[in-house]
Structure 1
Amino acid sequence: MTIRMEEVNDYRVTEQVIQEAFAGLAFSDQKEHELVRKLRHSEAFIPELSLVFEEDGRIAGHILLSKIMIVNDQQSFEALALAPVSVLPSYQKQGIGAQLVRESLQRAKNLGYPAVIVMGHEHYYPKFGFQPASRWGITAPFEVPDELFMALELEDNSLKGIHGVVQYASAFYE
């Protein structure tokens, strides 16, 4: 089992993994693979934070962290968005998603990024340290329940004094 940086020749397979991972899920628009494709061609893309989980030469999972901004009237602050994390159905419930999350957060911290924002399951992401983003006065640019919109400081107090609205890359809206 290996977690490694996604390579260009992985793109097609990775997109298939993403499609299969989200197939039939009620909360999904079934376009997560298209989001990843668009993000790869945007300024928000960080190749070092597009990771795949590989087992016996087969890609079974993927995670992507991309650049976002937290903006208010006085400042803008760069952070990351975690979206999406995908694991093939036959590999789910084995801890692969958690391994991908932990590895991506560590790599993001090593690259000097201060914080990560995620919109996701309120019982899953807190085990990695995510808390409601409202704790810091950080809000989504759209309506979302408070418990689903979370933030994580990659360094102690890296969000201290930071507040505003998250500005996602345009790929999220296309």
Structure 2
Amino acid sequence: MSRPAAVVRPERPGDFAAIRAVTAAAFAGAAHSAPPVDATGDPGEAALVEWLRADAGYLPTLALVAEEEGLVVGHAITTRGWIDAPGRDPVPALGLGPISVRPDRQGRGIGGALLAATVRGAEALGERLIALLGDPAYYGAHGWEPASRHGIAAPDPAWGELFQVRLLPAHDGARGTFRYAAPFARLG
């Protein structure tokens, strides 16, 4: 018997506590998670989601939850980023992350559904590209490629091929260094 597919929709204020719990659980114990930044002891990504909501780069239509049987089981937030190049005005782009799926629901296509919905939403807004930091094997299977192949440098050169982009139909060949929304810098 198959399970019903997760429903992906924009987040609502009533989801915020569940989103924090999903994000904290998804990043707890992960080798790449940010250290706690508040008294909760949750991985830094849980606080980052809240900081991003309070930032001017917050795009509510691209802050998505995956819901199964009324429970939030996944979350992805995409915020305004920029591509900077010397002598040129910054070019708007998108930064995806954190993206989280409850550990007991991983491997069921929920992350892929969140990624697909994010891409559709970004395309509908006429965005150029989405950047993220993550596992190339996983994200590559969903259409992401190393950003360096497209002349887009990571904010931290040490990220190498972990820094990836998904080019969208409105991409106009912009090249330069990607800059995430300001709250990302708070994680250090």
> Taking structure 1 as the reference length, what is the TM-score of the superposition?
0.94
Matches for 1:1-174 after TM superposition, within 5 Å:
1-29=6-34, 30-73=43-86, 74-155=88-169, 158-160=171-173, 162-174=174-186
Given that 2:147 and 2:163 are in contact with CA atoms closer than 8 Å, whether structure 1 keeps it comes out as yes
- Distance in 2 separating the partners of 1:94 and 1:50: 20
Q: Which has the higher mean CA deviation after the structures are superposed, 91-100 or 143-152?
A: 143-152
- The one-letter code of the counterpart of 2:102 is L
Extract structure 1 runs of 4+ deviating beyond 2 A.
143-146
Question: 1:150, CA displacement in angstroms?
Answer: 1.0
Shift of 1:167: 1.4
CA distance in 1, matches of 2:20, 2:158: 26
Point out where structure 2 has 5 or more consecutive residues left out of the alignment.
1-5, 35-42
In structure 1, distance between residues paired with 2:52 and 2:62: 12
In 1, Cα distance between equivalents of 2:172 and 2:145? 12
Could you tell me how far apart the structure 2 residues matched to 1:93 and 1:40 are? 27
Question: In structure 1, what residue type is equivalent to 2:19?
Answer: T
Q: Helix, strand or coil: the match of 1:24?
A: coil
Aligned positions, number: 172
Q: Secondary structure at the match of 1:46?
A: strand
Check the 8 A contact 1:14/1:59 in 2, yes or no. Answer: yes
Partner residue, 2:3: none
Name the residue aligned to 2:38: none
1:47-85: CA deviation from partner (whole Å, max 9, x where unpaired):
000000111111000011111000111231101011111
Give 1:136 shift. 2.0
Q: Aligned-pair distance for 1:146?
A: 2.3
Measured in 2, the distance between the counterparts of 1:10 and 1:142 equals: 32
Q: Please say if residues 154 and 160 of structure 2, whose CA atoms lie closer than 8 Å, have aligned partners that are also in contact.
A: no
Identity of aligned residues (%): 35
1:159 Cα deviation after fit: 4.1
User: RMSD over aligned Cα, in angstroms?
Assistant: 1.2
SS at match of 1:53: strand
Structure 1 distance, partners of 2:119, 2:81, is 15
